Structures are given as C-alpha cells and as structure tokens.
Amino acid sequence: MSRPNPVAVGTIVWLGSEVMFFAGLFAIYFTLRTASPELWATESAKLNFPFSLTNTIILVSSSVTAQFGVFAAERLQSRATGWKPSQWGMVEWFFLTYVLGAMFVTGQVYEYAMLVSEGITFNGNAYGTAFYITTGFHGLHVTGGLIAFLLVIGRAFAVKTFGHKEATSAIVVSYYWHFVDVVWIGLFLVIYVLR
C-alpha cells in the first residue's frame, strides 16, 4: 500500500486554511452589503458585467489548460513532441496557462482604473473597500500562482530528467490554481451577478 505524497497532502491542508481566509472576506463583504443596501445598488450599477464575464471566462479557461499540463506531467512529458496541442508537454500547457492568468490580472488592473475614474475608490466608501479587498486579495493569489507556474516551468528546464518529483510539483501548483479559479467564480457570482 502506497502512502500519500506529503507535498500533495500539505498543499491540500494549506488550501484548507485559504478557504477560511476567503470565507472571512466573503463574510466582510456580505456584512457591509447588508448594512448599506442602497450604497451597494448605486455603486454596483457602475460595474461592467460583459467585461468581467469575459475576464472570468479567460481565468476559467486557464484551469482547463492547467489540467492539460497536469495530464502531460503525469505522463512525465515535460515538453512538446510536435507542434499540435495534442503533442504538447507540461511546459507548453503551463505557459499558455500563465498567459491566460496574466491576461486576467491585466484585465483586473484595467477594471480598477475604470472604476477609480468613476469614483469607486478603496477609501471612498464601504462598497469600494469591500470590492477592492476581496478582488485585490484574489488578484494577489493569482499573481502568486503565476510565479509558481514560472518556477515549475523553470524546474522542468533545469533538471536532466523530468520525473515524479517534478510531476508532483506541477500537480500541486494545479491544485492551487484550480482553487483560485473556484474562489473567483464565487466572487464573480457574489459581486457581479447577485448585485
């Protein structure tokens, strides 16, 4: 009987603590929203739903590409054997994931600039504070994931033979990335859909 990988188990336990962190952010958001329904109605009307939906689709797509990277890592295929996506290795899939994640962060920064120009600032009112804290912490987590992808890609180039140790690194980074994507879906539903 094989024992579970301690790195994978540790990552899952750590993600459990991250769930609690984001649960606290959701609680703050809902508490402030309940206390100021008129403010929420006025300010949330300024959100650009089509833009945010597009940005969400980009991030969710990155979870799909990350999973294809995991499948390649599980086959111990670090790099492409041909130009077709069906022949890509972990590096190519993770690089595409990185590009999609970077597009999401860029989109979030652009959205912040647009909202600030419309008067929604961090210290302007409770809505702005709640919006920027919840989405900002998520954006920091996405940025951390992007750094992790670069480290895993770099490690694939640094080792002579791509083995189970490197595959495990790829898998645990994907756990984190999927978690970040699921959190965003929750934030998107709460902030942009259930205004």
Per residue in 81-103, pLDDT (tens digit) is 889 888 999 999 999 999 999 99
At 8, is the pLDDT very low, low, confident or very high (cuts 50, 70, 90)? confident
d(CA 71, CA 178): 14
Kindly calculate the radius of gyration of the chain based on its CA atoms and give it in whole angstroms: 19
The two three-digit tokens of residue 47, written as one number: 């959100």
The two three-digit tokens of residue 148, written as one number: 């992790």
At 149, is the pLDDT very low, low, confident or very high (cuts 50, 70, 90)? very high
Question: What pLDDT does residue 138 have?
Answer: 96
Residue 190 DSSP class: I
Helix axes 164-188, 6-35, angle to 10 degrees: 10
Question: What pLDDT does residue 194 have?
Answer: 86
pTM of this structure: 0.90
Q: Among 13-27, 52-66, 170-184, which stretch is predicted with the lowest mean pLDDT?
A: 13-27
Domains plus CATH for the chain? Answer: 6-193 (1.20.120.80)
> What residues contact residue 9 under an 8 Å CB cut-off, 6+ apart?
none
In the block, tokens 């205004």 appear at 195
Residue 190: pLDDT over 90: yes
At 9, is the pLDDT very low, low, confident or very high (cuts 50, 70, 90)? confident
Mean pLDDT of 120-140: 94
> What residues contact residue 101 under an 8 Å CB cut-off, 6+ apart?
59, 62, 142, 145, 146, 149, 177
Question: What pLDDT does residue 111 have?
Answer: 97
What count of Cα atoms within 13 Å lies in the side-chain half-sphere of residue 92? 15
Question: What pLDDT does residue 11 have?
Answer: 79
Question: What pLDDT does residue 3 have?
Answer: 75
Sign, CA torsion 151/95/107/17: negative
Question: What pLDDT does residue 187 have?
Answer: 94
d(CA 167, CA 156): 9
d(CA 52, CA 104): 10
Question: What pLDDT does residue 177 have?
Answer: 97
Question: What pLDDT does residue 66 have?
Answer: 97
Question: What pLDDT does residue 100 have?
Answer: 98
C-alpha distance from residue 54 to each of 66, 98, 110, 136, 195 (Å)? 19, 17, 13, 18, 18
Cα 181 off chain centre by: 4
